[in-house]
Amino acid sequence: MIFVQLTDPETSTFTYLLADAESREAILIDPVLEQVDRDVALLERLGLRLRYTLETHVHADHVSGGGRLRERLGSLTAMHASGGAECADIKLQDGDSLAVGKVVLQARYTPGHTSSCTSYVAGDRVFTGDTLLIGGCGRTDFQQGDAATLYDSVHQRLFSLPDNTLVFPGHDYRGNLASTIGWEKAHNARLGAGRDRDAFVQLMGELKLPQPKKIQEAVPANLRCGLPQDPEQALVALSVDAGVGYRDLAPEKAHAWLGALQVIDVREPEELVGPLGRIAEAQSAPLATVPQALAGWDKDALTLMVCRSGGRSGRAAELLARSGFVRVFNLQGGMLAWNAAQLPVVDADLGV
Ligand SMILES: N[C@@H](CCC(=O)N[C@@H](CS)C(=O)NCC(=O)O)C(=O)O
Ligand SMILES: [Fe+2]
């Protein structure tokens, strides 16, 4: 097998090239948009044809090069189906394999850092994305991340691999390159020997890390495989320019973009604990308080206004648009439509 570990220094992201020496076909795991020229040049120099680009998850810290590589080289983009990226040519399920010649990669669904995280096992090595980092693990505070789920993914789905399996992570912020399952089991500061599940969940809940610098741009871009905004989003910009103000966003789309959205729920406090519950990421600002509260919100962020059925949030969205917010959305059909689409809520009191 031909194998190269590549880095994007700005985001400390690893990209991996795997290729079959005989057929000269190649796979790239987690390519980075800014490094596409480098990757194309490397493939050319090594005499390789790129068949697939694989994502370990919908990244929050960098934009994928998968879509651009597809445009330039005709490769197919692949990621776990749960990532919600319509752009992906191949939507993988746990256990699915992709192969180039004798090089076979098997997807192992390992959610926790995000809900779409997937590791890939290829012979004596595993590409863990941000599920398992060297001596650590990915954070669990955005994109439906969940510490208990991450703990189980690592212990049940990664630590069950042979001890001498090489671990190649999605990032390293300290200059390390690789590890082994055996070493991580014994020494991983967060997940290794001695750290039980409850202690891990508590630790992850107390991290309080700043948001990745590129999250607003990266999550929506990666749902498009890193390609420039789709016509619908271009329309958002246009409609704002034309003074229309805000745009309705369907619940499924809003859900897929949650990691990139500033979410504001304008219902009264008692409604937040009613049968419809609330979106976990939402901050509360009852409609009457919006005129004062908006001074504290980020005017350039993608902002989603939410209420019960879309009426009050529409009025709030209009107010925001008039106050200089440039990317305002209204949750179409409100929490009624969100619940009807069976999207996740917290604090729902069903009165039973
Ligand atoms: N400073 C970085 C932070 C990147 C970050 O949060 N990385 C995620 C992976 S996408 C993570 O889990 N980091 C683990 C940690 O910082 O402990 C940035 O702005 O991009
Ligand atoms: Fe990540």
81 phi/psi in degrees, rounded to 5:
-55, -30
Q: What distance in Å separates the CA atoms of residue 115 and residue 129, rounded to the nearest whole number? A: 13
For the segment 286-340, what is each residue's pLDDT rounded down to a tens digit?
Answer: 999 999 999 999 887 889 999 999 999 999 999 998 898 877 889 999 999 999 9
Architecture of domain 229-340: 3-Layer(aba) Sandwich (3.40)
Q: What is the pLDDT of residue 8?
A: 98
Print pLDDT tens along the chain (352 aa). Answer: 999 999 999 999 999 999 999 999 999 999 999 999 999 999 999 999 999 999 999 999 999 999 989 888 888 999 999 998 888 989 999 999 999 999 999 999 999 999 999 999 999 999 999 999 999 999 999 999 999 999 999 999 999 999 999 999 999 999 999 999 999 999 999 999 878 999 999 999 999 999 999 998 999 999 999 988 765 555 455 455 445 578 888 898 888 778 778 999 999 999 998 899 999 999 999 999 999 999 999 887 889 999 999 999 999 999 998 898 877 889 999 999 999 999 999 988 765 5
Closest to 28 in 3D by CA, of 92, 89, 105, 102: 105
Give the pLDDT confidence score for residue 240 in this predicted structure.
52
For a ligand 1 pocket test, name from 10, 30, 61 the mutation site with the most ligand atoms within 8 angstroms of its C-beta: 61
Q: What's the confidence (pLDDT) of residue 168? A: 98
pLDDT of residue 71: 82
Q: Where are the domains of the chain?
A: 2-205, 229-340
Contact 130, 137 (CB under 8 A): yes
pLDDT at 228: 82
Rg (CA), the chain: 22
| Ligand 1 centroid, distance to 92 Cα (angstroms) | 25
Closest of 217, 225, 222, 219 to residue 87, by C-alpha: 225
Report phi then psi at 166, rounded to 5.
-75, 135
Neighbours of ion ligand 2 (CB under 5 A): 130
| Ligand 1: centre distance to CA 77 (Å) | 24
Q: Are 85 and 53 in contact (CB under 8 A)?
A: no
For the chain, what percentages of helix, strand and coil (3-state, to nearest 5) are there?
30, 25, 45
Amino acid 224: pLDDT: 92
Give the residue from 21, 20, 17, 65 showing the smallest Cα distance to 43.
Answer: 17
Q: In the CATH hierarchy, which top-level class contains the domain 2-205?
A: alpha beta
Ligand 1 atom at minimal distance to the Cα of residue 136: 17
Determine the Cα–Cα distance for residues 83 and 85; give it in Å rounded to an integer.
Answer: 6
Report residue 150: phi and psi, to 5°.
-65, -45
How many other CB atoms sit within 10 Å of the CB of residue 76? Answer: 16
Same fold, 2-205 and 229-340: no
Q: How far is the CA of 74 from the centre of ligand 2 (A)?
A: 26
| Ligand 1 atom, smallest distance to 59 CA | 10
User: What is the DSSP secondary structure assignment for residue 35, as one 8-state letter?
Assistant: G
